[in-house]
Structure formats: structure tokens, C-alpha cells
Structure 1
Amino acid sequence: MEQKFKDALEGMWDKLDGWLNSFVASLPNIILAILVFVITIILSRYIKKLAYRLSNRTKLQESMKQLLSQIVSVIVILVGLFFVLGILNLSKALNTILAGAGVAGLAVGLALQGALANTYSGIILSYVKQIKFGDWIETNDYEGEVVDIDLRVTTIKQVDNNMVYIPNKLVVENPIKNYSTTAQSRVILECGVAYDSDLEFVRKLVKDTIVSNFEAVENNNEVLFLYREFGDSSINFETRFWINSTSALEVAKAKTEAMIKIKSAFDQNNINIPFPIRTLDIPKTIVKEFTQA
């Protein structure tokens, strides 16, 4: 029993002595690996700042600038790690890590399929010129100002100051109406006048009213006036004009102002905007029977 203990103790010391010799022999490689790793960390930070400065020259969203700089930094660190493993003669371990990363990456990709789709869509939205911070858009039945685009959602601030967070995938896959792509927006107003109205006078009055109240409209020719139909109670018309704004809120305000001014002009000139009415045509025989009863 005592001999077995001595043999085990000697074997342990031999193993430790072998490890110590291997450590001493590998000490230059270890020091060099540590030095390479420290240089890699410092270099990655410098390159990250450089990549961010270069991205500022582009029209990318802020989230994309930060993402790209972080990706560049991670790539630099990974390259440094490969050099470190090579210096330490751990190529087999490197192959094992790469094989495991492939399997793990497949599993994570399947589990995070929806999140990855939103991330990819966020990258696309950061590149396209049709949507950017400050634009007034309408998408997925929501309308408002774009205040942020990150790797998961697009944030829209509505007229009532509420925030709507729409997954990037839905924004990419559905139509987007951008009110901010042009310098002007068109206001469309519908109304009706009584059948006994002077239609030529109504048209001139509406055009003059719009020209006198909106700076963007310089003359009557810039106001489109169209009679649309003979309605049940009125002759309906539609008028269109441009304003110097790309905000849907400003369009709504301009439409409200136009309605107030046109109604006031109609009142001053005794032009009636009729309520829906219905005329009953009762045969005379029925009227006679009713009066005799």
C-alpha cells in the first residue's frame, strides 16, 4: 500500500514537472500571444472610432453607423484571436471551436428567425433613401414622424404624440407612403352647393378665397376646381391646391383653414351648402281622399 502511494506521488510529480517544462518552453509564445491580444484590443478600439468617423460621411441612420463600427471592431478582435491561437499552437482547438460555432449558429438562427428578419430589415431601412429620420410617413395603418430606426423596430411619433413601434419586417414588406419626399403637399377639399347657385360665380369665389389665404398659391390658375356630380341634394365639387409643407398635420390644418374661409365666403354671398333633403311626391287622388276623410 505504501509503495503504491509512493508510485502515485512520483507519477504526479513527473506530470507536474512535465507541465512546468512545457510551460517554460512555451513561455515566449505565451508572452507573444498576450502582447498580440493586447495590441488587438487597442487596435479594435481605434478602428471602431475610425469606422464611425468614416460612416458619418454617409447618409446612414445613427443606429447603422454604430452597428457597422461595432462589426468592424468585432472582426478585428476575431482576427487577433486566430493569431493568438496560432501562436499557442492550438490549431486543433481552433478547428473544434469553428465546428461548434457552426452548429450553434444554425441552432440560434432557427430559434431567432423572427428577430433576425427584423434585424435584416432594419439594415435595409437604414440604407434606403425613401425613409429617414424626421420623415412623415404612413405604413401599416399608422401615420407619423420617423424618430428612430434600430435593428428591431421603426419608431413613429403620431399626431397625438404617442409612439408606435413597428417591427422592421412589417415596414419593409408593406407599402410606405412618405409625405416628406417632396417640398409641397396637395390639399383636396370636397363640398357641395345648392342647385340654384351660380356655378361660374361659385368657382371664381372658391379660387379667389384660396388664393387670398394661402401664400403658396399665387394665382387662380394654380387652384384646380372640378364639379364632380349632381348629388341628391347638391351639386358637388372638388378643389385642389398646393401648400409649402410635407407634413400630413399641416395638410389637415390647411384643409381646416380652407373650409372656414370658403364657408365664410359662401355666407357673405348667400350661397347655400344644403343639407341632405328628400322631396315626397304624393298623388293628388291620395291627397283628395285624405282631405275629405
Structure 2
Amino acid sequence: MEQILGPVWDTLPEPMRVQMGGYATAFWRALPQIVLAVVFLALVWLAVRMVNWIVPKALGRARMRRAMRDVIVMLLTVGLWLMGVLTAATIAFPSITPGEALAALGVGGVAIGFAFRDVFENFLAGILLLIREPFSKSDFIECQGIDGQVEDITIRDTHIRQTDGQLVVAPNAMFFKNPVTIRTATGLRRTTIIVGVAYGEDVDAAREVITEAVRHVDTVRDDVKDVQIFAQEFGDSSINFEVTWWTGSKPVDIRRSRDKVVAAVKRALDETGIEIPFPYRTLTFKEPLPIRQRDDDA
């Protein structure tokens, strides 16, 4: 090695050799402080691990919400690493004061913030969502065309399982900046169907039959809010009733309740002889049509 480096070192200019020698001397002088800084960072790492293990359990005994526990642990972790890095920098380089290191970190943080603006935006939106908790895991929500059940809320994104089984991972900033419909905010949701009866039927009698049929469906919560039935319009071939009732708030509750209500209304109208008409069409011709009598002997 000396046979290789020796000639190379001799070929370097004298100022460069002096400068490189100064760097080597400075490095060897600072090496003990650098080792101490690395050891200190290892201790910080152990402290962070202990915080991540002890704090969630302590907060869990206090029955704090999981979202708040995650935010507190994250803030403690970031704070410990920030103070640890600043302290390690002052240990390794005693000429650097904590204020100077913090100022340098601030300037670098501004540059990083511009470069990763979207990442930090989702990060801050995730913290606010976890603290405010407008919706939680297992809620059914809709936002920007995404409709499904919340499976997980992380610092950066939210996982939504759509009703067709597909998983959507959406950035938290989308839920923070846009309106979010929380379908399961309460245990009840209103649903509506349209029922048509023939023009020849008695409107009041048809309304009573439909009302009794809907009330006897087990998924209809008429004990909480009444079933509402209104004659809505004169349709092309029927008088249409708007039938409204309350049931469970999950999408499957809505579909199941509609299925039972439609079947019950159809059964009740058939049993009482009230007609549910097919669409009728009346054809008018400008000229009278010739009527040909069929010859039975032909």
C-alpha cells in the first residue's frame, strides 16, 4: 500500500498535501467526539423504543382514543430525535452551538418543505384527522367519488374498502380539504322507493295498504320514526307514491330493507286486488285503418 500511495502522494502539489494533512489531523482530533455523538444517538434510539413501548400502554390504561395515542407517540418520537440530533451535533463539533444547529436545521427544513410539500400536507392533515376524528375505523364514508368502509387511518393516508371489495388508499389531504359524507354517523338512515298503482284504484285505500305492508317489515324502524307515504305525481300509466322509511345506516342494511319492503308491498297489493299497472300506450292514426274480416273457410 505504501508503495502505491507513496508515489501518488509525492506527485501532489505542496499546498494540497498541507491541506489534506490538516483535514486528517482535524478528523483524528474530532474522532473521540464523533464516537461519543454516535453513542449518544444510540441511547436516543433506545429511548425512542422505550417511549414507543411504554407510552401506548400507559395511555391505553387511561382509555384514551387510539388516534390520540398515535399522535402523542409520534410527537414524542419526533421531539426526541430532534433534540437528540441537535445534541449529538454539539457533542461532535463543540464549536457549533445548539442555536446555530437549530438555525441550520430551520433553513434546511424550509428547503425540504418546498421539495416535499405534498408529503407534509398529507402528514399535517393526518394529524388533524386523528385529533379531530370526524370519522373513525369501520365508518362508511363517501368523498370525491370514493365510497366504502374505513379500514385504517394512518399519518399519511386513509384506507377505504369499497363495497365491491377493492381497497382504495387515499391521501389525507383529500379528506381534509373536501366535503366528506359519513353514512354511518348515526345508526339510522332514510331510504325511499316509488310505488305506482293504476288510475282506476282508490288512492286512499292504496295508501293504507302500502303503509301497513311497510310497517310490518322487520327492518323498518317505525318505532323511531314514522313511515311516510305521499302521492307524488301522475305518471304515464300510474299514480306514483313516494314511500319513505328508516332503517340501518350500513349499505347492506339499505339494500336488505329495500328488498323486503318491495316484496311486502307487492304481496299486499296483490292480496287486496290493487293493480300495479304495466306501461300503457295509446296509438292514434291519422287515417282510419281498414278492417279485414278473416275468412274462416280459408
Q: For 1:257, which of 256, 260, 269 is the aligned residue?
A: 260
Correspondence for 1:248 among 237, 248, 251: 251
CA distance in 2, matches of 1:219, 1:19: 83
The answer to whether structure 1 residue 58 and structure 2 residue 64 are counterparts is yes
1:210 matched residue in structure 2: 214
Aligned residue identity for 1:276: P
Match of 1:267 among 267, 270, 273: 270
Instruction: For 1:89 and 1:220, locate their aligned partners in 2 and report how far apart those are by CA, in whole Å.
Output: 71
Distance 1:275 1:199, change over 3 A: same
Contact 2:192 2:245 in 1 (8 A): yes
Report the Cα distance in structure 2 between the residues aligned to 1:121 and 1:291, rounded to whole angstroms: 77
In 2, the alpha carbon distance for the partners of 1:201 and 1:150 equals 55
Instruction: Determine if contact 1:118/1:169 at 8 Å carries over to the other structure.
Output: yes
What are the Cα deviations for residues 152-176 of structure 1, in whole angstroms up to 9, with x where unaligned? 3221112221112222222222221
Measure the CA separation in 1 of the matches of 2:236 and 2:27: 102
1:161 pairs with 2:165? yes
- What is the rounded CA distance, in whole Å, between the counterparts of 1:154 and 1:277 in structure 2? 51
Displacement, 1:121?
1.8
Gaps (5+ residues) in structure 2?
Answer: 1-9, 293-298
Q: Deviations over 1:189-208 (max 9, x none)?
A: 11211101121221111111
Q: Distance in 2 between matches of 1:48 and 1:194?
A: 69
AA in 2 matched with 1:101: L
Q: 1:120 to 1:238 in 2, by over 3 A?
A: same
Contact 1:192 1:237 in 2 (8 A): yes
Query: In structure 2, what is the equivalent of residue 126 of structure 1?
Result: 130
- Does 1:139 pair with 2:161? no
1:109 to 96, 106, 113: 113
Are the counterparts in 2 of residues 49 and 69 from structure 1 also a CA contact under 8 Å? no
Would you say the 8 A contact 1:194–1:234 is kept in 2? yes
Q: Which residue of 1 aligns with 2:6?
A: none
**Residues 1:69 and 1:184: Cα distance change in structure 2 (over 3 Å):** same
Distance in 2 between residues matched to 1:110 and 1:20, nearest whole Å: 34
Larger helix fraction of residues: 1
Cα deviation 1:237-292 (Å, max 9, x = unaligned): 1111112x220221122112211221122222222222332323556xx32xx549
Q: Please list every run of 5 or more consecutive structure 1 residues that lacks an aligned counterpart in the other structure.
A: none
Whole-angstrom distance in 2 between the partners of 1:218 and 1:20: 81
Cα distance 1:148–1:22, how it changes in 2: closer, same or farther (>3 A)? closer
| 2-structure distance, mates of 1:114, 1:20 | 39
Q: TM-score, normalised by structure 2?
A: 0.75
